Structure 1
Amino acid sequence: MHALDDRAEPFRFDYRPPAVRYGTGAVAALDSELAALDVSNALVVAGTTTGTTPAVIDPVRDGLGDRLGAVFAETTPEKRVATALAGARRYDGLGADGIVALGGGSSLDVAKAIRALVVHDDRMGAVASFAETGRLPVPEDLPPFVVVPTTLAGADLSLGAGLTATPENGHVDTPVDGGVSAPQLMPDAAVYDPELVATTPESVLCASAMNGFDKGVESLYARAATPITDGTAARGLQLLREGLPTLRGAEGGEPDYGRAVRGTILVQYGIARPEGSTLALIHAFGHGLTAHSAIQQGAAHGVIAPHALEFLFEHADCRRALLADALGVAAGTDPADGVVDAVAAVRDALGLPTRLRDVADVSRDDLPAIAATTAEDGLVENVPANVPVGADALERVLEASW
């Protein structure tokens, strides 16, 4: 075991989590979760594939029983404002009294926007505000909200969501890439069922898993880390480093979806709080890359994470001993080198790209613009002191990943 960081700085941990239900077949209990929230007529928000695939939607329908009002299976990876408005209209027409979000990050994000829009007296005014500021305003009193994730990205225990609009899809004159964020957007309940996660295509699941895995990594080195998130993230990383390499059925073994789901719950537990997040440089790079490319964010993390960690360790300690312990780095190994190797090993086991040059729509000439976008991301504020986060420094990380 490496000598662990035992910081004694004061901290404040204001976290308002949902009820968490986990287990094989857990969606069978959706009826009781909605009953606890006094929801009798729920709108299920899902993707165009997830919401129409029997292996996914049928167990959810069965679990909801008479509390299912309708399925709105229209979300897409673009997370469009227009989709959220259509979902709000469907909610109205149904006379719904709650929302169930089913699927990956895109569906959960659009569902959060629908949740905010259904209580706006002036929805088009809210959309106009989004067009101007990139932020969708969020009223205080929101309808009950239950999330049923089918990926491992960790978008479920979250206060925010991404949202886009383009002139082609209406409501804006120029493209807007923004979002919605407020403490009251945290779900009321989260239901995790490994059987549903197992229905997700392998390539999608593995990319999402890297995104979730990096939440645990960042929670340990970010400025906003607390002893509470240290505990959940470290245990979550242990489960993920054991479970994620099984997802592709390597060497004929069975994928350990349960271990992967439990690890994902833990690494994100407590990281999204009203006073801030523990996400930092890797996620900022993920945002920068996806702003300039169609690459999935988890795949972007796979390329950038080892190089971002090398850069961080070059300039600061970044709690490398704690990270090394959580990632099972052998005693006697240099902690920084061991952490980088452990993260790269998980990335490789998930079958994700290792170089930016292998991403179809990224050229070397794009790197300065990606670095500039990353430097402007709010998450760089969570990077430890003494680590340079200007565009020039971050471009060097991108060059190393090229």
Structure 2
Amino acid sequence: MPHSFRFEYESPTIRFGAGSVSGLADELAAAGASNALVVTGTSVGANDDVMDPVRAGLGDALAGVFAETTPEKLLSTALDGVDVFERADADSVVAVGGGSSLDVARAVCALAVTDDRDAAVDTYAETHALPVPDAALPPMAVVPTTLAGADLSFGGGLNATDPDITRTPISGGLSDPALTPTAAFYDPELVATTPRRVLASSAMNGFDKGVEAIYTTAHTPVTDATAVRGVRRLTETLPGLGPDAGETDYAGILEGILLVQYGIKRPDGSGLGLVHAFGHGLTAHSAVQQGSAHAITAPHALAYLLEQTDARRDVLADALGVDSDGIVDAVAAVRDSLGLPTRLRDVDDVSESSLDAIAESTHADGLLDNLPAGVDPTVADLRGVLEDAW
């Protein structure tokens, strides 16, 4: 009999398939919008194979393109973006690209309805969280071109490095259910334009969302169904992104990424856990990308969890298609098929002397609250996992 649970989740409208972005203007119109600013990065913004279908899908509803986002997800970029939003008289946002563009686009939406932006920046500097006004936000559509699985979320990272904005560098974010996208477009033809090495790295981040949705305390029969199916699809298809792969099933990979993140972040809980906490800890102290951080730490984090508790190993094993004693090896096999790094010592700016600080940052991460009952790692425990990954 399933445990008692509460599942509150408002999904974006989902359009899936080749050419699906042709419906951009229709979905925005259904939300009452008719003049959209596209928010993206420089590389994607210059890629006509992506932008031409997006422009065509918006048609007369295209207000302009802001192609200035960077992997750093800077608050200063969002402030520049909202200025462009206002000059273009836009009423909605279309985020195109990877997680950084989606996160900056969320910040643009929040800032667009913020009356006192200076006060909002001050709040961010103090709390490391950009406030989201209790007001109707501009509708936002998302068109992911990577596989990190941040598309259906209502939160994201937002950092500050400009001393004119905050006195000291800040690693923060924003989160509010109102930031849930209005519509999400999964077009395998657009994803296929991203270099496979970039997709491979981001895919490990997405894959781990499915694994963590299963063992964290926020799991429900609903998320079990989507996560198990998603992990299965990714286990089957992700090797097609590896350096020695032939044909790549982009539609199958996108299906898996969509499923593993469905309902993982909700007002009543989050399905992210130890692997993502290690990812945050590592990126707080180095320039390593989240996908690589996950690739290196995931097998060791899971080995630690399985030593401490059952961690729903029967469901994990079912999703991965292995016996319960093969879970760690199966996750490592997915990582290895993608050609991703396996040791922290191979990351340029991670030194063995920094492991204490990384362990402390990981220990302070709120995602550890989502670990199974009875699992309460100490800083020394986390340092031990990092040593295993070294």
TM-score by length of 1: 0.95
Please say if residues 249 and 255 of structure 1, whose CA atoms lie closer than 8 Å, have aligned partners that are also in contact. Answer: no
Separation of aligned partners in 2, 1:38 and 1:184: 16
Structure-to-structure mapping, 1:38-53, within 5 angstroms: 38-53=32-47
Note if 1:394 corresponds to 2:382: yes
Please say if residues 241 and 338 of structure 2, whose CA atoms lie closer than 8 Å, have aligned partners that are also in contact. Answer: yes
Separation of aligned partners in 2, 1:19 and 1:139: 23
Q: Which residue is 1:293 aligned to?
A: 286
**1:245 shift after superposition:** 0.6
Residue among 294, 315, 324 paired with 1:322: 315
Separation of aligned partners in 1, 2:235 and 2:95: 28
Separation of aligned partners in 1, 2:338 and 2:19: 25
Separation of aligned partners in 2, 1:231 and 1:40: 36
Q: Which residue is 1:4 aligned to?
A: none
Q: Which residue is 1:70 aligned to?
A: 64
Please say if residues 243 and 339 of structure 2, whose CA atoms lie closer than 8 Å, have aligned partners that are also in contact. Answer: no
Q: Which residue is 1:155 aligned to?
A: 150
Note if 1:174 corresponds to 2:168: yes
Which amino acid in structure 1 is aligned with residue 332 of structure 2?
A
Which amino acid in structure 2 is aligned with residue 319 of structure 1?
R
Gaps of 5+ in 2: none
Separation of aligned partners in 1, 2:234 and 2:342: 19
Determine helix, strand or coil for the equivalent of 2:101.
Answer: helix
Q: Which residue is 1:164 aligned to?
A: 159
Q: Which residue is 2:121 aligned to?
A: 127
Separation of aligned partners in 2, 1:324 and 1:51: 41
Residue among 356, 362, 378 paired with 1:374: 362
Q: Alpha-carbon deviations, 1:344-383, whole Å to 9, x = none?
A: 0100011100000000100111101000000000100011
Please say if residues 248 and 255 of structure 1, whose CA atoms lie closer than 8 Å, have aligned partners that are also in contact. Answer: no
Residue among 140, 147, 171 paired with 1:145: 140
Q: Which residue is 1:278 aligned to?
A: 271
CA 1:29 to 1:249, structure 2 compared with 1: closer, same or farther past 3 Å?
A: farther
**1:248 shift after superposition:** 3.0
RMSD of Structure 2 on Structure 1 (CA): 1.0
Q: Alpha-carbon deviations, 1:31-73, whole Å to 9, x = none?
A: 2212212221100000111112111111111111111110000
Q: Which residue is 1:241 aligned to?
A: 235
Please say if residues 239 and 334 of structure 2, whose CA atoms lie closer than 8 Å, have aligned partners that are also in contact. Answer: yes
TM-score by length of 2: 0.98
Separation of aligned partners in 2, 1:396 and 1:84: 38
Which amino acid in structure 1 is aligned with residue 309 of structure 2?
A
Note if 1:350 corresponds to 2:343: no
Among all aligned residue pairs of Structure 1 and Structure 2, give the percentage whose two residues are the same amino acid.
60
Note if 1:228 corresponds to 2:222: yes
Separation of aligned partners in 2, 1:325 and 1:301: 21
Q: Which residue is 1:196 aligned to?
A: 190
**1:249 shift after superposition:** 6.4
**1:202 shift after superposition:** 1.6
Gaps of 5+ in 1: 1-6
Separation of aligned partners in 1, 2:378 and 2:211: 22
Determine helix, strand or coil for the equivalent of 2:71.
Answer: coil
Q: Alpha-carbon deviations, 1:115-145, whole Å to 9, x = none?
A: 0000001011111110111011101310111
Which amino acid in structure 2 is aligned with residue 145 of structure 1?
M
